[in-house]
Structure 1
């Protein structure tokens, strides 16, 4: 995998830029943090070299100046909203994030419950946080938000919200997911700070779209593919073009809301500190791309992966056809097809040759490994074993797992646990390999190569079970599947 992004340059440049923005105001900046603070795997896939925890590491460079405020919507607490990638509720994720931040030496000042209108579950969550010693503040729903500016910027609007006590110059407002009220929290604080005579500032930190790349650059198109379910569209920032005669890229929601934001700024300060949505941003990622061709190719591959996720979702009923159609249009713009994913053809060819499901993996050095369905193993389990054997230099015809060691697991599955499928899944193969490693040097060697699977590309000729999907995810492999049930 070619490196296309200078992560160390990014950490240095980004932290310096945020410090400069703090100094533009009364040494008080509310920074809305969009996207994921760590585990930002989309960014690491489309910008090869970008560390998944780069934003968190950047923030750690500002740890002496920064405090974190976690925002969570009362309505999300009430309906037990789930984080799709982790499968946990937003309120549980708030507690997880607080532990993560504190574990990295970052100061978490408080939690704000937004859009509150008397939800009992929000009251219970507030009490739970207070018992843990975490300060909690309440922000209320405002009728006509965000367009009724005279009401919003008044004692009956932002003025009703509880003022969040903060002690540091940089206040990072983050949340478990979108729609949590991060921007409203920042603007409410600006109102309260202004009433206290403090000229605090607001800025927005989101990695995508990258404002100083072309509108149709593959990195920005990959962001559109990633947000196809949200109907986000990248567009030229018309306010920036008018103010500076410079073309920059933003996305539709920020452009649409900017006139309202500008009116709110004018109501609070008398004038707006920003002339465009781009002005509000502080993202330096576009300045740290060192190999544009590598990032372009990585982004094209991400668009294909997103396409497969969308069509698989149509097959299992979890996604709409509109999402897939939108990504198909992006693929046409880039002149790419699904077969441009290097693992697709080998998996389909092996499946056709064997008349059963098959899978293929591209190792980090470009080698392609395949796996077929057998009496003992499912295709993804066979692929995993074949890849580990190849990486550890074990001959293909050598059995790292003997049929005798697999048989008891099959008996357990079919005779005692009621499974109709005797073949081993990926997790069962790894457990069997671990048990065998106590007596087998080959099994030990194969097991030691598991970390080398991180970043490998996998394609299956059929949709895999949740068990196999999650295992590839935990191994760090990027998985796609044909939209076909086995």
Structure 2
């Protein structure tokens, strides 16, 4: 993989900049942490060289002065809101996040339930957390939020919220997902700290959009593609342009809310310490791009992948047509088509040749291998097996798994487990390969190539089965599929 981002430089610059921001206030900074704190694979895809756990590593560098507060909305608890990437509810993710942070040596001070108005499910969750020894605070629904500034910044507004007791200079406010109330939690604390005679600060840490690269840079366009379901739009920060004569990029929600934030700051402090939404941010990622061409190409590929994922979701009824239109517009702005993804044409050509589902994968050296559906294997499983053979230098005519070994697995699937599909999926093929490897050195050689699949691109001519989607993810293969069913289902 070509590197376009200097991760070591980023960690040094970012931690230094956050320390500087803390010192601008009374040694107390509430830092709203947007995006994913770990497993940030979007950033690692569009900024090759960015480590998925960079934000976590950054916090570990600041662990001596940082504590974490996890925020969750009572309405999200009530509706059992799910994280699409993990398939777990937001309340379950609060516990997962706490465990992850503490295993990394970070201090989690408390959990805040926001937008609380007596929801029974929120009360039950609060009780569950308290039995685990976790401090829980409640922040309430404020009538007229965020427009009714006199009420919001008063004892009946922010003043009615629980004051979160913190003990360290840097308080990181994070959440399972967007809309949880991170910013409102920060501002409520500023009000309470001011009442305690402390001039605490607020800052925002979002990796995207990157403020100091062009508005239509593919990295920023890829962010819009990633948030198409939220209808986020990148835009020039008009407040920064007016204040400094400098063109910077922000996104619509921060720009739209800035006049409200400015009024809140003025009411708390007597003045607004920031002249623009860009001023509030602390993101240094744009300063650490070391090869712009590499990041541009990686981001264009991400936009194409987002297009395919959106088309698949549209086919299954999980997103509106407007989302598709937005992704198509972004592809046009980036100047790319699906044919710029090399594995697409290779998979479609193989499907046409075999008159059945097929798949293609681009190996690290740029060569492309394909797989087809057979009586024994699905197209994705066949693809992975062929890729491992190619990487190991094994002739494709050689069987690293004997057909006789596959047939008993098929019998278990269909006769004992009730599956209608006898063909092996990726995980089943890899298990069969590992069993063969115990007696066959050639199979062992193929098995040892699995780490080399990380970061490879793949495409299938039909929509993937959910099991294969998960396996591609576990193998760190960036896979897409045509928005087309192998067979039109009535029930999935």
Q: TM-score, normalised by structure 2?
A: 0.98
Task: State the partner residue of 1:417.
Answer: 417
Inter-partner Cα distance in structure 1 for 2:331 and 2:113 = 40
> Where do residues 82-101 of structure 1 align in structure 2 (5 Å cutoff)?
82-101=82-101
Please list the CA deviations of residues 251-274 of structure 1 after superposition, one character each: whole Å capped at 9, or x if unmatched. 000000000000000010110000
Local SS of the residue matching 1:173: strand
Task: State the partner residue of 2:71.
Answer: 71
Task: State the partner residue of 1:320.
Answer: 320
Local SS of the residue matching 1:192: helix
Task: State the partner residue of 1:13.
Answer: 13
Local SS of the residue matching 1:343: helix
Shift of 1:436: 1.6
Shift of 1:79: 1.0
Please list the CA deviations of residues 126-145 of structure 1 after superposition, one character each: whole Å capped at 9, or x if unmatched. 11111111111111010111
Inter-partner Cα distance in structure 2 for 1:290 and 1:243 = 29
Task: State the partner residue of 2:490.
Answer: none
Shift of 1:417: 2.2
Inter-partner Cα distance in structure 1 for 2:110 and 2:335 = 48
Inter-partner Cα distance in structure 1 for 2:185 and 2:17 = 22
Q: Say yes or no: does 1:272 pair with 2:275.
A: no
Task: State the partner residue of 1:448.
Answer: 448
Task: State the partner residue of 1:234.
Answer: 234
Name whichever of 310-319 and 137-146 sits farther off. Answer: 310-319
Q: Say yes or no: does 1:366 pair with 2:366.
A: yes
Inter-partner Cα distance in structure 2 for 1:192 and 1:147 = 20
Q: Say yes or no: does 1:334 pair with 2:355.
A: no
Local SS of the residue matching 1:204: strand
Please list the CA deviations of residues 111-156 of structure 1 after superposition, one character each: whole Å capped at 9, or x if unmatched. 1111100011111111111111111111101011111100000000
Task: State the partner residue of 2:145.
Answer: 145
Which runs of 5 or more residues in structure 1 are unaligned? none
Task: State the partner residue of 1:39.
Answer: 39
Task: State the partner residue of 2:190.
Answer: 190
Inter-partner Cα distance in structure 1 for 2:195 and 2:106 = 29
Inter-partner Cα distance in structure 2 for 1:7 and 1:232 = 27
Task: State the partner residue of 2:430.
Answer: 430
Task: State the partner residue of 2:489.
Answer: none
Shift of 1:157: 0.3
Name whichever of 421-430 and 401-410 sits farther off. Answer: 421-430
Local SS of the residue matching 1:398: coil
Shift of 1:86: 0.2
Task: State the partner residue of 1:400.
Answer: 400
Inter-partner Cα distance in structure 1 for 2:72 and 2:480 = 32
Task: State the partner residue of 1:165.
Answer: 165
Shift of 1:312: 0.9
Inter-partner Cα distance in structure 2 for 1:418 and 1:176 = 37
Q: TM-score, normalised by structure 1?
A: 0.99
> Where do residues 193-272 of structure 1 align in structure 2 (5 Å cutoff)?
193-272=193-272
Inter-partner Cα distance in structure 2 for 1:82 and 1:315 = 21
Task: State the partner residue of 1:119.
Answer: 119
Inter-partner Cα distance in structure 1 for 2:397 and 2:145 = 67
Local SS of the residue matching 2:10: helix
Please list the CA deviations of residues 18-63 of structure 1 after superposition, one character each: whole Å capped at 9, or x if unmatched. 0000000000000000000000000000000000000110111000
Please list the CA deviations of residues 146-199 of structure 1 after superposition, one character each: whole Å capped at 9, or x if unmatched. 111000000000000010000000000000000111000000000000000000
Shift of 1:315: 1.1
Report how many aligned residue pairs link the two structures: 486
Inter-partner Cα distance in structure 2 for 1:378 and 1:84 = 26
Inter-partner Cα distance in structure 2 for 1:345 and 1:52 = 30
Local SS of the residue matching 1:274: coil
Inter-partner Cα distance in structure 1 for 2:328 and 2:109 = 44
Inter-partner Cα distance in structure 2 for 1:417 and 1:104 = 40
Name whichever of 370-379 and 14-23 sits farther off. Answer: 370-379
Local SS of the residue matching 2:342: coil
Which runs of 5 or more residues in structure 2 are unaligned? 487-492
Task: State the partner residue of 1:303.
Answer: 303
> Where do residues 369-380 of structure 1 align in structure 2 (5 Å cutoff)?
369-380=369-380
Inter-partner Cα distance in structure 2 for 1:126 and 1:317 = 35
